[in-house]
Amino acid sequence: MIDVNEILKQLTLEEKACLLSGHKSWHTNKVSRVGLPSIFLTDGPHGLRKKKEGDKVAGLGQTELSTCFPAACTSGASWNRDLLYKMGVAMGEECRYYGVSLILGPAVNIKRNPLCGRNFEYFSEDPLIAGALGTQLTRGIEDMGVGTSVKHFACNNNEANRYFGDSIVDDRAYREIYLKAFEPIIKEGKPASVMCAYNRVNGKYASENNGLLNGVLRDDWGYEGLVMSDWGAVNDRVEGLKCGLDLEMPGDIGHNRQVIIDAVKTGDLSMEVLDTAVRRVLEIVSRGTDLKPIPDGKFLSHADLAKQISLEGAVLMKNEGRALPLDEKDKYLVVGDMFERMRYQGAGSSLLRPYKLTTPKEAFDSHGVNYDYEQGYNVYSFEKDPSLHSAVINKAKNVDTIIFFGGLSEYAESEGFDRTTLSLPQNQLDLLGDIAALGKKIIFVMFGGCPVDMSFDDSVDAVLNMYLPGEEGGESAYELLFGKANPSGKLPETWPHSYADVPFGSEFTKTTNDRYKESIFVGYRYYSTFGVPVKYPFGYGLSYTDFAYSNMQIHRDADVVTVSCDVKNVGDTYGAAVVELFVGAPKSGVVKPVRELRGFEKVYLTPGETKTVNVVVPIENLRCYVNGGWKLESGSYSFEICSDATKVILSDSISIEGDSINDSEIYTALYGKGKDTFLAMTDAEFDKLIGRKIADPKITRPYDLNTPMREYKTAGGRFLYGLLMFVFKTIYNFEKSARPSPDKETKVKNAYFGWQTISAMSLRSISYASEGMLSHKLALVLLDIANNRVLHALARLFKPEKCVKLPK
Ligand code: BGC
């Protein structure tokens, strides 16, 4: 047990400054003089990615084996709070087994645009789901005594510009959509820490955004835990501290330790602010130190849990003529590289080494399925392989049913870059098209973390979307295909017909100023309200059985509305239904979506069974954020039990007394006049809504540490950027051509992620994410080179950098 007050008293200013940053990526700093140890923290968020003890490689290197749970795209589709809690407990157990005190997750950013490369790691386009599931995951982990770090706070909704982009959001969308997902997690999940995002939010880096950190998080929500930076997200260290950022990660930036000391000495930074931040670090170290290791990682029972989550998160998107489930007595032609090389987890910082892995092929074999297999395409290529392709066509001619395994690989979607198209890889589409031309029955089993253009599905009979199902994905696919389990996942995001339908999609990441012009009309809130047809709506998902809903009742108490209904399984298979409760709020003075998800419950029923389901909606969740505050608009509220965001099954309304409120004129003019006016919104109009003219992001010379390196136009700058890209590309090619080994695939994927990520960084973000390998001084030397000031660079190189040493 650490006596935080006592240690705080004993620490010197230098030691305090050191404690405010991490060490060697995954540790806090220790101060042996006062008996303060360090703790270990690491990724998250769908399982533990722990660097192996003793591995000398910087950053990640070799990682321990751990359970690869389904990524949030799958667990989000389960709509099952209990499973997320259990997943949290299991992750907490593995953390304790490996001596990890804090795990970096959950990740709950809103899926604003389907092309965001990191959508797989997030739960939903809807803040209620993201908040509810994120809360349970947090609770589960924290209940095991392990800390969490809910991330990325806030508005980190693209990858291309994540290091320097500015997410420009109006107040209403900020509160009702983007912050809303975090709020219950903070208030009910009580995470040990919050990780601030890389990007700017309304002009200021999240890591030094007073309104976001001190304002919303601490003042409004009463958060008392620690705020850490994302890896390399610090910009101005002292400003960050003043604005509520406590811990810099990954740390080892001598310059930033020194500026803290200097700022205290000059009086720019008060001792009180410093001590508050140090105290928060001491508190998580104290918690971590008290944590007793457990002797068993329980990996086999966790594998069962991972399977359960993937069974519940798989979404049956199409089932023409009840093509599924399949009969095990028949023989099938199985096609697609993903049968053997299943995509089961995301890519980037969440990529881990699974303890157990069951591919669909292994599952089919272990259950004795009668099949013939053709690879068809290479999962790591977008190009057609003529011989693989024609081998399928030759065999397909002689069979009735083809099970096609396809989807997106880590080269199509990953942390670190955004997708450029909604389409599946062309080699898979070509193959599907040619098989379809033979008129055979096709069952498409899909892996991938986000929506794809499904126009091809007219030619397939069934689509089973596994998303990224984790280590037991193959077993789950088998059980769902052959009716051993019944799909019950519901899409936590809209699947549009095409990217052209995505509001302001053509502007996504085109400039580093990301104007969130759609405001609160994100995902289904846009499509349903503005009458835009979609391919598969939010909340949609089929089952092998049918459900009937009846007897809807609404009961109003002082603080909550309880809506109940009876759900009956009217088919002949055990299954689960989700009661999705949407509310259409009055729109007298304020523009609102036609309906918004306000509650959900999942219910499990045997054939013929009926259960009454209650969905409780706190009245405060019916409020909207207008004119600087939360207001409940008076009027009639329509409560709708839906099968998805477009289909109302039962509805009734009640009147609720609240305030008489009005939108600002500009909000009504932009959002209340129909789709054409909405989509015609200019930058200037949006800026008027925001209340300031947003300057174009201009690259000025001399460049500074925050200039995106890809924008360098000088000879020195182009040389530097070219060299960097060359080095990272070479590492990738080296890993790709290395001899086969158990780790090869992971290494290749990580190298690809590194290469893609680096292309979107600035010298500041590279330096501050580098664990001290690129010191602040060296970053400035390189900057001099980029500014063609070679002599300056040389002079700087030989000038010693003043920075305090780490305590022993
Ligand atoms: C990611 C975080 C992650 C961190 C450490 C960052 O690049 O954005 O989500 O926790 O790296 O790996």
> What's the pLDDT tens digit per position in 451-477?
999 999 999 999 999 999 999 999 999
Q: Is the pLDDT of residue 235 over 80?
A: yes
Q: Please state, in angstroms and rounded to a whole number, the distance separating the CA atoms of residues 201 and 516.
A: 11
| Average pLDDT score over residue span 431-441 | 96
* CA-wise closest residue to 641 among 585, 598, 696, 698: 598
**Digit-coded pLDDT (tens) for 635-688:** 999 999 999 999 999 999 999 999 999 999 999 999 999 999 999 999 999 999
CA 107 to ligand 1: nearest atom: 9
CA 156 to ligand 1: nearest atom: 8
How high is the pLDDT of residue 303?
98
- Which of 25, 100, 228, 231 for mutating ligand 1's site (highest number of atoms within 8 Å of CB)? 231
**Digit-coded pLDDT (tens) for 309-319:** 999 999 999 99
Q: Dig out the tokens for 561 from the structure.
A: 């509305």
Residue 762: what are its φ and ψ, rounded to 5°?
A: -110, 170
- Which of 104, 152, 155 for mutating ligand 1's site (highest number of atoms within 8 Å of CB)? 104
| Average pLDDT score over residue span 718-746 | 92
Range of lowest pLDDT (57-66, 381-390, 579-588, 751-760): 57-66
How high is the pLDDT of residue 670?
97
How high is the pLDDT of residue 53?
77
Q: How many Cα neighbours within 13 Å face the side chain of 181?
A: 29
Residue labelled with tokens 């968020």: 45
| For residue 44, cis peptide bond before it (omega within 30 degrees of 0) | yes
In order of 166, 357, 705, the CA distances from 511 in angstroms are 9, 41, 19
Residue labelled with tokens 């519901």: 490
| Average pLDDT score over residue span 540-567 | 98
- Which of 40, 48, 230, 414 for mutating ligand 1's site (highest number of atoms within 8 Å of CB)? 230
How high is the pLDDT of residue 57?
67
Q: Whose CA is nearest to atom 7 of ligand 1?
A: 231
Ligand 1 center from residue 417 Cα (angstroms): 14
User: Which amino acid belongs to residue 787?
Assistant: N
Q: Please state, in angstroms and rounded to a whole number, the distance separating the CA atoms of residues 637 and 27.
A: 51
How high is the pLDDT of residue 249?
98
Catalytic-residue membership of 230: yes
Ligand 1 center from residue 250 Cα (angstroms): 9
In order of 41, 151, 165, 256, 512, the CA distances from 206 in angstroms are 21, 11, 11, 17, 15
| Alpha-carbon torsion, ordered 200, 201, 206, 212, to 10 deg | 170
Range of lowest pLDDT (56-65, 70-79, 122-131, 353-362): 56-65
Write out 495-539 in H/E/C secondary structure: ECCCHHHCCCHHHCCCCCEEECCCCCCCCHHHHHHCCCCCCECCC
Q: Whose CA is nearest to atom 3 of ligand 1?
A: 349
Q: Please state, in angstroms and rounded to a whole number, the distance separating the CA atoms of residues 510 and 348.
A: 23
CA 121 to ligand 1: nearest atom: 9
Ligand 1 center from residue 474 Cα (angstroms): 28
How high is the pLDDT of residue 54?
75
Helices (H), 738-801: 744-758, 763-768, 776-786, 790-797
| Average pLDDT score over residue span 742-760 | 88
How high is the pLDDT of residue 783?
98
| Average pLDDT score over residue span 54-83 | 89
How high is the pLDDT of residue 518?
98
CA 49 to ligand 1: nearest atom: 12
How high is the pLDDT of residue 58?
63
Q: Which 3 state secondary structure label does DSSP give 748?
A: helix
Within 6 Å (CB) of ligand 1, which residues are found? 43-44, 104, 151, 230-231, 349
CA 60 to ligand 1: nearest atom: 12
Q: Which residues contact 641 (CB under 8 A, 6 or more apart)?
A: 549, 552, 563, 565, 579, 580, 581, 582, 648, 649, 650, 651
Ligand 1 center from residue 114 Cα (angstroms): 20
| Average pLDDT score over residue span 241-245 | 98
Ligand 1 center from residue 39 Cα (angstroms): 18
Q: What angle do CA 650, 533, 456 make, to 5 degrees?
A: 115
Q: Where on the phi/psi map is residue 348: left (φ > 0), alpha (ψ -120 to 50), or beta?
A: left
**Higher per-residue pLDDT: 754 or 135:** 135
Q: Is the pLDDT of residue 147 over 80?
A: yes
Q: Whose CA is nearest to atom 6 of ligand 1?
A: 231
What whole-number percentage of the chain has pLDDT above 70?
99
User: Which amino acid belongs to residue 213?
Assistant: L
- Which of 26, 49, 349 for mutating ligand 1's site (highest number of atoms within 8 Å of CB)? 349
* CA-wise closest residue to 535 among 487, 582, 499, 567: 499
**Digit-coded pLDDT (tens) for 486-502:** 999 999 999 999 999 99
Q: How does residue 322 score in pLDDT terms, banded at 50, 70 and 90?
A: very high
Q: Dig out the tokens for 367 from the structure.
A: 């259950």
Q: Is the pLDDT of residue 59 over 80?
A: no
CB 315 within 8 A of CB 487: yes
Which residues, listed in sequence order, are joined to residue 193 by a DSSP beta bridge? 149, 226
Ligand 1 center from residue 45 Cα (angstroms): 10
Ligand 1 center from residue 307 Cα (angstroms): 26
| Average pLDDT score over residue span 538-551 | 98
Q: What angle do CA 78, 82, 86 make, to 5 degrees?
A: 105
| Average pLDDT score over residue span 272-288 | 98
Q: How does residue 529 score in pLDDT terms, banded at 50, 70 and 90?
A: very high
Ligand 1 center from residue 740 Cα (angstroms): 28
| Active-site residue, selected from the candidate residues 230, 252, 461, 514 | 230
How high is the pLDDT of residue 549?
98
Query: To the nearest whole number, what is the mean pLDDT of the chain?
Result: 96
| For residue 325, cis peptide bond before it (omega within 30 degrees of 0) | yes
- Which of 25, 41, 42, 43 for mutating ligand 1's site (highest number of atoms within 8 Å of CB)? 43
CA 44 to ligand 1: nearest atom: 10
Ligand 1 center from residue 349 Cα (angstroms): 5
Ligand 1 center from residue 249 Cα (angstroms): 10
Q: Whose CA is nearest to atom 11 of ligand 1?
A: 231
User: Which amino acid belongs to residue 47?
Assistant: G
Beta strands 204-205 and 147-153: pairing type? unpaired
Q: Which residues contact 157 (CB under 8 A, 6 or more apart)?
A: 109, 110, 111, 112, 113, 116, 167, 178, 514
Q: How does residue 27 score in pLDDT terms, banded at 50, 70 and 90?
A: very high
Residue labelled with tokens 């973390």: 449
Burial class (CB in 10 A: 0-12, 13-18, 19+), 398: exposed
Ligand 1 center from residue 231 Cα (angstroms): 6
CA 416 to ligand 1: nearest atom: 7
Q: Dig out the tokens for 638 from the structure.
A: 């329509």
How high is the pLDDT of residue 545?
98
How high is the pLDDT of residue 445?
98
Q: Whose CA is nearest to atom 4 of ligand 1?
A: 231
| Average pLDDT score over residue span 105-132 | 98
Other CB atoms within a 10 A radius of the CB of residue 572 amount to 12
Q: Please state, in angstroms and rounded to a whole number, the distance separating the CA atoms of residues 746 and 754.
A: 12
Q: How does residue 1 score in pLDDT terms, banded at 50, 70 and 90?
A: confident
Q: Which residues contact 409 (CB under 8 A, 6 or more apart)?
A: 343, 379, 380, 425
Query: pTM above 0.95?
Result: yes
Q: How many Cα neighbours within 13 Å face the side chain of 129?
A: 31
Q: Please state, in angstroms and rounded to a whole number, the distance separating the CA atoms of residues 25 and 689.
A: 41
Which residues, listed in sequence order, are joined to residue 638 by a DSSP beta bridge? 584, 653
What whole-number percentage of the chain has pLDDT above 90?
94
**Digit-coded pLDDT (tens) for 182-203:** 999 999 999 999 999 999 999 9
Ligand 1 center from residue 495 Cα (angstroms): 27
